[in-house]
Amino acid sequence: MTADTRALYQEVILDHNRKPRNYGVLDHASHHAEGLNPLCGDHIDVALAMAGDRVEAIAFHGESCAICKASASMMTMAVKGKRRDDAQALAREFVDMACGRLDVKDAQHIGRLAVFSGISELPMRVKCAILPWHTLQAAFNAVATTSTEADDDPMHAPMGDA
């Protein structure tokens, strides 16, 4: 295994894949979106319960690879309790890091999510990591369905397709 991949498939990611946190559906969601990755057919559903501009509760479920599931799981932990502006700033930073536009050393909010920095070295997998964040933004913006292929989405990462 190369260093990049070893760095990616490390224990914290494998653990979140095995035991995803905040996995399931929310009874009283105020915001919700489904994210699709047509490259592999993966989809995840992100639901939010907002209290004012604060994320009171968040949950996700769906069918996805380990990278996507761990990213979603760690996203829910990072976002829960945050104000919407802060959550969206984190989402932008995560996507910039995953796409290789932001060096992890220069990140302000990334924290433990730095374990995903190696994904930028695997361009075919970047979409897997950013799908949950993409879907989170769509939920905030009340867009019911988003896709990693949505050209009008500011988080679109141009990438090879199936």
Partner 1 sequence: MTAVQPAIGPQTSATTQPFDVERIRADFPILELRVGGRPLVYLDNAASSQMPRPVIDRLLRYQTSEHANIHRAVHFLSEAATTAYEGARAKLRRFINAREEREVILTSGTTEGINLVMHGWGRKFISAGDEIILTVLEHHSNIVPWQMLAAEKGATIRVVPIDDAGELRVDAYEALFNERTRFVALGHVSNALGTVNPVRQMIEFAHARGVAVLVDGAQAAPHMAVDVQALDCDFYAFSGHKMCGPTGIGVLYGRAALLEQMQPFKGGGDMIHTVSFEGTTYNTIPHKFEAGTPPIAAAIGLGAAVDYLSVVGLPAIAAHEHDLLRNATEQLGALPGVRIIGSARDKAAVLSFVVQGIHPHDVGTLLNQEGVAVRTGHHCAQPLMKRLGVAATSRASFAFYNTHAEVDALVAGIRSVQKVFS
Residue 94 to residue 89: CA distance in whole angstroms: 9
Least separation in angstroms between residue 6's CB and partner 1 is 8
- Residue numbers 143-162 binding partner 1 by CB under 8 A: 162
Least separation in angstroms between residue 23's CB and partner 1 is 15
Choices 36-44, 76-84, 104-112, 134-142; region in contact with partner 1 by CB under 8 A: 36-44
Residue 131 to residue 37: CA distance in whole angstroms: 7
Among 26, 33, 39, 47, binds partner 1 (CB under 8 A): 39
Residue 79 to residue 83: CA distance in whole angstroms: 8
Residue 110 to residue 145: CA distance in whole angstroms: 26
Least separation in angstroms between residue 118's CB and partner 1 is 11
**Is residue 67 part of the contact set for partner 1 (CB under 8 A)?**
yes
**Is residue 98 part of the contact set for partner 1 (CB under 8 A)?**
no
The Cβ of residue 150 has, within 10 Å, a number of other Cβ atoms equal to 16
As given in the structure block, the two tokens for residue 131 are 């799908």
| Under 8 Å between Cβ of 97 and 107 | yes
Binding site for partner 1 (CB under 8 A): 1-2, 5, 9, 14, 17, 39-42, 63-67, 122, 124-125, 128, 162
